[in-house]
Amino acid sequence: MKAKPRIGIYGLTSCAGDQLVLVNCEDELLTILEAVDLRSFVMAHSDNPEGELDVAFVEGAVTQESDLETLKDVRSRAQILIAIGTCAVWGGIPYLSGMGTPLSDHVQVDYAIPGCPIEKTQLLKAIASLLRGDLPLSLPHPVCLECTIRENNCLLQAGEICCGPLTAGGCNARCPSLNRACFGCRGASHDPNYVSARQILEKHGFSVNEVRQRLALFSGKAYEKEGTQVG
């Protein structure tokens, strides 16, 4: 990538939590600002010249006409478009209420950093890879990999609604390591087997509704695609 990549950071309908993660990278922020040419970041400064971009980070789901306009405009100006946060990647909570759609429903998304909010380490690694001229690596594993490496006992096996096997890894199994079942906030893994998960949970005595509510909370789109077949 050229010496100083031109970067833009945008928010659609969202809580701005993912943009906040970047602002909170206190120790690294100066290094990043030296390495990139930050063109547009409404959250951090007021003077935002809009133009050609090398990389655009976009947060939030598309819930209204103005979101779609912004998204299309950003896409047309950006070489690489990266969805940040589970709302941008999967539609997140807005999708569940039938009000929001993920970016990939509307434009080409080159890379996704899921999470609610995103993990700082994954964001920094992604920025570093981009600076080197690579697309960041996608994390191939579900939460269970990190959970098992941390030698946690399995909460799903113990009869809790743990979304770990259905959920993209990268959080270092934050919740299961605190003995809390995974809520699936990082969105669907590469290969979520909702049908089996549902059968396991129904065997543990949960109702179809309880299971759906939990499994579809953050990645309803994936749940509908993979999970609606009769198991």
Partner 1 sequence: MRTVVLPGSNLEEFLARLAVGHELIVPQKSGASISFAAYDPSSEVVVEYQRTLLPPKKFFLPPEEALFDFAPGEGFRQKPTSSERRILFGLHPCDIHGLRRLDQVFLEGYVDTYYQAQRDRTLIIGLSCLPDEMCFCNSMGTDLVTDHFDLFLTDLGDNYLVEIGSTEGNDLILDNEDLFAETSDILLRKYKVFLATRSNLFEQKLDTSGLSNILALEWDSSHWEETAKDCLACGRCSMTCPTCYCFTIFDEVNLDGASGSRCRRWTSCLYKNYALVAGGHNFRPSRGARLRQRIMHKHKDSVERHGISACVGCGRCQAHCAAGINFCQVLTSLRGESSESIVG
Among 79, 97, 196, 207, binds partner 1 (CB under 8 A): 196
Q: Taking CB under 8 A as the rule, does residue 184 contact partner 1?
A: no
Answer yes or no whether residue 145 interacts with partner 1 by CB under 8 A: yes
Q: How far apart are CA 223 and CA 149, in angstroms?
A: 27
Residue 11: helix, strand or coil by DSSP? strand
Q: Judged by CB under 8 A, how many residues of this single chain contact partner 1?
A: 44
CB 217 to ligand SF4: min, Å: 15
CA distance 9 to 4: 16
Residues 206-225 that bind partner 1 (CB under 8 A): none
Query: What is the spatial distance between Cα 138 and Cα 11, in angstroms, rounded to a whole number?
Result: 22
Selected binder of partner 1 within 23, 43, 135, 149 (CB under 8 A): 149
Please select the residue that binds partner 1; options are 16, 44, 68, 124, rule is CB under 8 A: 124
Minimum distance between the CB of residue 23 and partner 1, rounded to whole angstroms? Answer: 16
Q: Does 153 bind partner 1 (CB under 8 A)?
A: yes
- Using CA atoms of 101, 104, 110, 114 in order, give the dihedral in degrees to the nearest 10: 30
Minimum separation from the CB atom of position 12 to partner 1 (A): 27
What sign for the dihedral angle of Cα 20, 80, 91, 118?
negative
Cα–Cα dist 146/174, whole Å = 9
Instruction: Please spell the DSSP secondary structure of 91-159, one letter per residue.
Output: -HHHHHTTS-B-GGGTS--SEEE-BTTB-HHHHHHHHHHHHHT-PPPPP-SBHHHHHHHTTPPPTTTTT
Pick 107 or 200: Cβ nearer ligand SF4: 200
Partner interacting with residue 1 (select from ligand SF4, partner 1, none; CB below 5-8 Å by kind): partner 1
Count CB-CB contacts under 10 A for residue 1: 16
Dihedral class, residue 141 (left if φ above 0, else alpha if ψ from -120 to 50, else beta): beta
Answer for which of 55, 58, 71, 144 binds partner 1 (CB under 8 A) is 144
Name the residue nearer to ligand SF4 (CB basis): 89 or 182. Answer: 182
- Judged by beta carbon distances under 5 to 8 A according to partner kind, the member of ligand SF4, partner 1, none in contact with residue 176 is ligand SF4
Q: Is 174 in the site for partner 1 (CB under 8 A)?
A: no
- Distance between CA 101 and CA 109 in Å, rounded? 13
Residues lying near partner 1 in the complex (CB under 8 A): 1, 28, 31-32, 35, 124-125, 127-134, 137-138, 140-142, 144-145, 148-149, 151-154, 156-157, 164-166, 179, 189-191, 193, 195-197, 199-200, 231
